[in-house]
A = this chain, B = another copy of it.
Amino acid sequence: MATLKDIAKELGVSVATVSYALTGRGSVSPAMRDKVLATVERLGYQPNRKAQAMRTGITRCIGLIIPDLTNPFFPQLAQKIEFEARAVGLSVFVVDCQNQAVHEEEGLNLMEQQQVDGVIWCPTGNRSTQRLARLRCPVVLVDRPLPGFDAVHSDYRAGGQLLAQHAIELGHRTVGLLSGPQETESARLRRAGFVEAAAGRLDIQWEEEVPFSSELSPAARQALAASKASLVVAANDLIAVGALDELRSLGKRVPEDVSLMGFDDIPWSALITPSLTTIRQPIAALAHEALSLLTAKMLDRNRPVSTRVVGVSLVERNSAIALNHG
């Protein structure tokens, strides 16, 4: 691997000159700059990132801490973020927490050791923000906002409202709610939006809080079994898939006997039967905003904390149909 020293020796100049020629910082004659550039090309020189990092304190690496790659929402997000990051010359370390706080802790330690320039984090659950503060690099929370921190997330409340409005339009009156973990802002706002827009027009007959997973709690299964509601609204698509499975094994047809709605528009949603009526989160936009917020913060660490909210849209498919009032 060629170094600055090799190039300098080749041209009979000092490494400083070569460095100046490449960074364009000092004053170097055009002739010399050309010679340096040519030699760089010829020797296939690539700057040693570690050495640069050591000197400048900038690693050009960021961390991406994700709750669970098994939830199809996150691979999509990770893909877009990695793409955007690479486009601006940032490499990304990925840590998958498998939804466990221990791994999250490990991940944060790792980011500290690697001295990343920034971290994009989707916190699992409501963690103490102390650990976050120990990380002395900029952090942007995605999808899981926490008060007092930079964050990018979808307009969950609007999503909830869209679902309620759609339900009303379809003529539904009675609904069961499979709400997500209420300690997360994300699940709380989805629920809040729905409940607000439903007020006085939809009767929420039952509600069960379940984790963001297709494995339903026993209580949720019982609720589904006993349900007389014409519509079940799940806090995300994964839960909706679980509900679909459960309803089917209870002998209830979706959507003929009961309609179903999800949230996220994960890739499966279009493929399962019936395809899922859901709220689409603009994942590419989330990724883009997250990265632009992070880079902004990297450039100006005193930037005031801000939150970017991206819009969502209703995706009508086959799992929710109009109710025939007989």
Q: Are A92 and B91 in contact (CB under 8 A)?
A: no
Cross-interface CB contact of A94 among B53, B78, B103, B113, cutoff 8 Å: B78
Among A182-211, those with CB < 8 Å from B are none
Q: How far is the CA of A79 from the CA of B74 in the complex (A)?
A: 11
Q: Does A231 contact B (CB under 8 A)?
A: no
User: Inside 8 A of A70's CB, which chain B residues have their CB?
Assistant: 75-76, 79, 267
Q: How far is the CA of A275 from the CA of B188 in the complex (A)?
A: 33
User: Inside 8 A of A103's CB, which chain B residues have their CB?
Assistant: 86
Q: Does A268 contact B (CB under 8 A)?
A: yes
Q: Are A79 and B69 in contact (CB under 8 A)?
A: yes
Residues 55-74 of chain A, each 1 if its beta carbon lies under 8 Å from chain B, else 0:
00001010010001110101
User: Which of A15-23, A41-49, A125-133 forms part of the interface with chain B?
Assistant: A41-49
User: Inside 8 A of A91's CB, which chain B residues have their CB?
Assistant: 93, 110, 114
Q: Does A95 contact B (CB under 8 A)?
A: yes
User: Inside 8 A of A6's CB, which chain B residues have their CB?
Assistant: none
Provided the pairs A75-B70, A267-B70, A268-B271 are in contact, do residues A110 and B98 lie with their beta carbons within 8 angstroms? no
User: Inside 8 A of A268's CB, which chain B residues have their CB?
Assistant: 268, 271-272
Q: How far is the CA of A115 from the CA of B82 in the complex (A)?
A: 19
Q: How far is the CA of A245 from the CA of B272 in the complex (A)?
A: 9
User: Inside 8 A of A75's CB, which chain B residues have their CB?
Assistant: 69-70, 72, 74-75, 78
Q: Are A115 and B72 in contact (CB under 8 A)?
A: no
Q: Are A241 and B79 in contact (CB under 8 A)?
A: no
User: Inside 8 A of A82's CB, which chain B residues have their CB?
Assistant: 94-96
User: Inside 8 A of A93's CB, which chain B residues have their CB?
Assistant: 61, 91-94
Cross-interface CB contact of A273 among B49, B51, B248, cutoff 8 Å: B248
Provided the pairs A50-B54, A113-B47, A115-B49 are in contact, do residues A86 and B95 lie with their beta carbons within 8 angstroms? yes
Q: Does A214 contact B (CB under 8 A)?
A: yes
Provided the pairs A271-B245, A273-B248 are in contact, do residues A96 and B110 lie with their beta carbons within 8 angstroms? no
Q: Does A83 contact B (CB under 8 A)?
A: yes
Tell me how far the C-beta of A105 lies from the nearest C-beta in chain B, rounded to whole angstroms: 12
Q: Does A106 contact B (CB under 8 A)?
A: yes
Q: How far is the CA of A70 from the CA of B79 in the complex (A)?
A: 8
User: Inside 8 A of A110's CB, which chain B residues have their CB?
Assistant: 86, 91
Cross-interface CB contact of A50 among B50, B78, B94, B95, cutoff 8 Å: B50
Tell me how far the C-beta of A50 lies from the nearest C-beta in chain B, rounded to whole angstroms: 5
Tell me how far the C-beta of A216 lies from the nearest C-beta in chain B, rounded to whole angstroms: 12
Among A93-109, those with CB < 8 Å from B are 93-96, 98, 103, 106
Q: List 23 A-B contacts (CB under 8 A).
A: A48-B54, A49-B113, A49-B114, A49-B115, A50-B115, A54-B54, A61-B93, A70-B75, A70-B76, A78-B94, A79-B98, A82-B94, A86-B95, A86-B106, A91-B93, A93-B93, A94-B94, A241-B271, A248-B273, A268-B272, A271-B272, A272-B273, A273-B273
Contacts A70-B79, A86-B103 supplied; 4 other A-B pairs, CB < 8 Å: A75-B78, A82-B96, A93-B94, A245-B271
A-B residue pairs, 9 tightest by C-beta: A69-B75, A75-B75, A94-B94, A69-B79, A50-B50, A50-B53, A79-B96, A50-B54, A273-B273
